[in-house]
Amino acid sequence: MNKQAHNIGPIGVFDSGYGGLTILDAIRKKLPQYNFLYLGDNARAPYGSRSFNIVYRFTLEAVKYLFSQGCNLVILACNTASAKALRNIQQNDLPNIDPTKRVLGVIRPTVEKIGEISRSGNIGILGTTGTIQSKSYDIEIEKIHPKFNVFSQSCPLWVPLVENQEANGEGADFFVQKYINQLLNQSADIDSIILGCTHYPILLDKIRKYTPSHINIVEQGAIIADSLADYLNRHPEMNIRCSKNGICSYLTTEDEDKFNSLASIFLNEKIDSKHIDL
């Protein structure tokens, strides 16, 4: 066995808060044998309205922390971090930190998949202010599906609703309907809406309620899980560096009990997280 094969660790999954749990859940269903280490920077969420430099700095801190815990591969299960930090980390930081480690995002795999889902090529994107302003979806869609039309709407109050445990409250209805109407008012031809923020599936029931039934609502969980499985198949040198005992651990920068109670509801199992400071 070569030296690198001994250097194994969990796959890191990072989000600003609870949203990445929607990705983790799908990944674990697809790849149950792998070990995962989830990190939610709940104390500093939401990231969505923060500047480019702050999102980059916070994301880099989280990635470095996950590396220090033995992760060789980290998934940014956060569109805002994927939009604002991924490229910098891949191109400028990884070569200095450890060129054998990898960080992957969620935007590119989602854009690759949308070609199979949309019939008309008229795509709606819902995301945080940061993701929408970065135009990351527009840029990626233009590269892969140049004939598609993209309509975008930021939803600045959706992440705070989730992080503050109001996703199922009556107040959420108003803001869910508001942003969906603002998106659909841009075009009557949208046939698919990408939930371009990993928190949004937590609002799915309400999103469905206010979206006409002929429109596809595209969640990222299964897409990212398929894409990760494909990546590990294509990269055996990384696959052998991922530990496989079916164990999943959780870190949060907020209060452990607070994280445990909400994460347990989302994942439908008992969660025992550990507090860390970044």
Q: What sign does the CA torsion over 60, 100, 10, 227 have?
A: positive
Kindly state the helix (H) or strand (E) to which residue 59 belongs, with its residue range.
helix 52-68
Q: Of 198, 161, 197, whose CA–CA distance to 177 is shortest?
A: 161
Q: How far, in whole angstroms, is CA 192 from its chain's centroid?
A: 19
47 binds ligand DGL (CB under 6 A): yes
Among 42, 59, 72, 79, binds ligand DGL (CB under 6 A): 79
Active site residue 78: yes
Among 78, 157, 172, 218, binds ligand DGL (CB under 6 A): 78
For residues 78 and 180, which CB has a smaller minimum distance to ligand DGL in the complex? Answer: 78
For residues 15 and 241, which CB has a smaller minimum distance to ligand DGL in the complex? Answer: 15
80 binds ligand DGL (CB under 6 A): yes
If you ran DSSP here, which 8-state letter would residue 92 be given? I
Among 48, 105, 201, 221, binds ligand DGL (CB under 6 A): 48
| Backbone φ, ψ for residue 270 (5° rounding) | -70, 130
Structure tokens at 206: 């309400």
Among 72, 131, 227, 253, binds ligand DGL (CB under 6 A): 131
253 binds ligand DGL (CB under 6 A): no
For residues 15 and 219, which CB has a smaller minimum distance to ligand DGL in the complex? Answer: 15
Active site residue 248: no
For residues 8 and 112, which CB has a smaller minimum distance to ligand DGL in the complex? Answer: 112
45 binds ligand DGL (CB under 6 A): yes
Number of residues that bind ligand DGL (CB under 6 A): 17
Instruction: Give the strands of the sheet with 102-104, arranged side by side.
Output: 102-104, 73-76, 11-15, 36-40, 248-252, 274-275
46 binds ligand DGL (CB under 6 A): yes
- Cα separation of 95 and 235, whole Å? 18
Active-site choice (71, 155, 197, 248): 197
197 binds ligand DGL (CB under 6 A): yes
- Cα separation of 156 and 51, whole Å? 14
Question: Residue 215 in contact with residue 190, Cβ under 8 Å?
Answer: yes
CA distances from 65 to 40, 198, 253 (A): 12, 21, 12
List residues with catalytic annotation.
78, 197
User: Contact residues for ligand DGL (CB under 6 A)?
Assistant: 15-17, 19, 45-48, 78-80, 128, 131, 159, 197-199
